[in-house]
């Protein structure tokens, strides 16, 4: 006698969810392979590695000549020499955005120029899987590059000084690397947005580079001009007027992602920094002259971390919405 067969249960939406996951995985694998094998990405990464290692060598030489033992392992990342006036963290702050911009400026516009975007979406791959996969793959490649560079630098630091970092120094370095990934991911999301909004690849690249140059070079001058216009300072200005000018300058500066990253990096990698912004003499009275612990430094930079994550998510959300609403023709 044949056994009765139980009816198969089919939950609505499960097949679509599995298909979407398969499409997302395929896009992520393809994008990671394209990034790692791309010549322009390899050239830029080599440039960043050489610049960072050069700054590391000069910082180690300066520390040895000074003979300091206070947080020497962290100072290898932050101290600049006379021959090369840029530290390891300064190179990451200046050249890191270029990696994010190069990885995303032609993510969509390049597919459109080659005529492959409509062919990709004609496959069983949803639109959200395509854009999500491109962003996830970019962040994954960034994490590999930043952590690889950070671990290489740490290994060279151990060889130079002959002693491993303390637990606090190790946690600070790992947090710095994670913060760098978030910071560069912001530029990746921004370049992805430009790649969707501008249909020409060259226009997308120029828009990203122009914004990077603005934040890196001209934003500081613009913030200073606005603060001086609202609270002008002269030789006869009162202390209250000067304080208001400085506080407004500091507040407007935090609207720039590179300012947030630089301030958070200095606070995290230098335990001697105990306060951010303008500090008056009244606030210094009674303060203990001692370095902060890792947890206390993390509390100081927590708003910066949240701000960078929020800016990254906002840029990606706008890019996601624009791509989902965009018309794609064969």
Average pLDDT over residues 159-164: 77
DSSP 99-145: HHHHHHTTTTHHHHHHT-HHHHHHSS--HHHHHHHHHHHHHHHHHHH
Residue whose tokens read 């912004």: 277
Closest CA to 276 of 303, 246, 300: 300
pLDDT tens column, 222-249: 888 888 888 887 777 777 777 887 888 8
pLDDT tens column, 176-221: 999 999 999 999 999 999 998 888 888 888 999 999 999 888 888 8
* CA angle at 287 for the pair 286 and 291, rounded to the nearest 5°: 155
| Range with the largest mean pLDDT of 7-11, 82-86, 98-102, 119-123 | 98-102
pTM value?
Answer: 0.85
| Range with the largest mean pLDDT of 17-26, 86-95, 272-281 | 86-95
Q: Confidence class of residue 312 from pLDDT cuts 50, 70 and 90?
A: very high
pLDDT at residue 21 in the model: 64
What angle do the packed helices 219-230 and 239-253 form, to 10 degrees? 140
CB neighbour burial string for 197-209, b if at least 16 within 10 angstroms, e if fewer = bbeebeebbebbb
Q: Confidence class of residue 15 from pLDDT cuts 50, 70 and 90?
A: very low
Q: Using CB atoms within 10 Å of the CB of residue 233, give its burial: 0 to 12 exposed, 13 to 18 middle, 19+ buried.
A: middle
Q: Confidence class of residue 311 from pLDDT cuts 50, 70 and 90?
A: very high
Has residue 17 got a pLDDT over 50?
Answer: no
Are residues 99 and 142 in contact, defined by beta-carbon separation less than 8 angstroms? yes
Cα end-to-end span (Å), the chain: 57
Question: Average pLDDT, whole number, for the chain?
Answer: 80
Question: Which residues lie below 8 Å from residue 288, measured CB to CB, with a gap of 6+?
Answer: none
Q: Confidence class of residue 8 from pLDDT cuts 50, 70 and 90?
A: very low
In the chain, where the domains are located: 19-281+290-325
Has residue 282 got a pLDDT over 60?
Answer: no
pLDDT at residue 6 in the model: 45
Task: Provide the residue count of the chain.
Answer: 330
Residue whose tokens read 């706008």: 318
HSE-CB at 240 with a 13 A cutoff on CA atoms is 0
Q: Residue 116: what are its φ and ψ, rounded to 5°? A: -100, -10
Query: How many Å apart are CA 188 and CA 313, to the nearest integer?
Result: 11
DSSP 67-80: T--TTHHHHHHH--
| Range with the largest mean pLDDT of 128-132, 201-205, 309-313 | 309-313
- Locate all alpha helices (DSSP H) within the chain, ordered by sequence: 14-37, 39-66, 72-78, 88-104, 109-114, 117-122, 127-161, 167-197, 201-213, 219-230, 239-253, 257-269, 281-284, 294-325
Has residue 265 got a pLDDT over 80?
Answer: yes
Average pLDDT over residues 304-312: 93
Query: How many Å apart are CA 187 and CA 260, to the nearest integer?
Result: 14
Query: How many Å apart are CA 319 and CA 197, to the nearest integer?
Result: 8
How many whole angstroms from its chain centre is CA 122? 33
């Amino acid at each position: 006698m044949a056994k009765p067969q139980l009816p198969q249960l089919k939950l609505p939406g499960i097949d679509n969810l599995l298909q979407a996951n398969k499409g997302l995985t395929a896009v992520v694998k393809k994008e990671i392979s394209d990034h790692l094998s791309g010549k322009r990405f390899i050239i830029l990464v080599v440039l960043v590695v050489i610049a960072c290692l050069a700054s590391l060598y000069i910082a180690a030489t300066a520390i040895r000549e000074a003979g300091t033992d206070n947080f020497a392992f962290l100072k290898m990342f932050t101290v600049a020499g006379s021959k090369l006036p840029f530290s390891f963290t300064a190179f990451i702050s200046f050249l890191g955005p270029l990696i994010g911009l190069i990885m995303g400026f032609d993510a969509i516009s390049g597919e459109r120029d080659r005529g492959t975007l409509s062919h990709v979406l004609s496959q069983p791959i949803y639109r959200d899987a395509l854009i999500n996969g491109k962003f996830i793959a970019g962040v994954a490649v960034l994490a590999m590059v930043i952590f690889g560079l950070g671990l290489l630098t740490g290994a060279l630091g151990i060889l130079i000084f002959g002693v491993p970092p303390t637990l606090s120094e190790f946690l600070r370095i790992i947090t710095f690397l994670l913060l760098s990934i978030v910071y560069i991911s912001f530029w990746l999301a921004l370049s992805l947005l430009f790649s969707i909004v501008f249909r020409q690849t060259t226009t997308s690249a120029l828009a990203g580079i122009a914004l990077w140059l603005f934040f890196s070079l001209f934003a500081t001058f613009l913030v200073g001009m606005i603060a001086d216009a609202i609270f002008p300072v002269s030789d006869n200005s009162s202390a209250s007027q000067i304080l208001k000018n400085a506080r407004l300058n500091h507040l407007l500066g935090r609207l720039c992602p590179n300012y947030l990253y630089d301030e958070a990096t200095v606070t995290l990698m230098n335990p001697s920094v105990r306060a951010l912004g303008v500090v008056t003499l009244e606030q210094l009275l009674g303060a203990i002259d001692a370095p902060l612990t890792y947890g206390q430094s993390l509390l100081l930079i927590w708003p910066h971390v949240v701000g960078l994550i929020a800016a990254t998510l906002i840029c990606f959300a706008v890019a996601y919405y624009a791509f989902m609403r965009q018309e794609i023709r064969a």
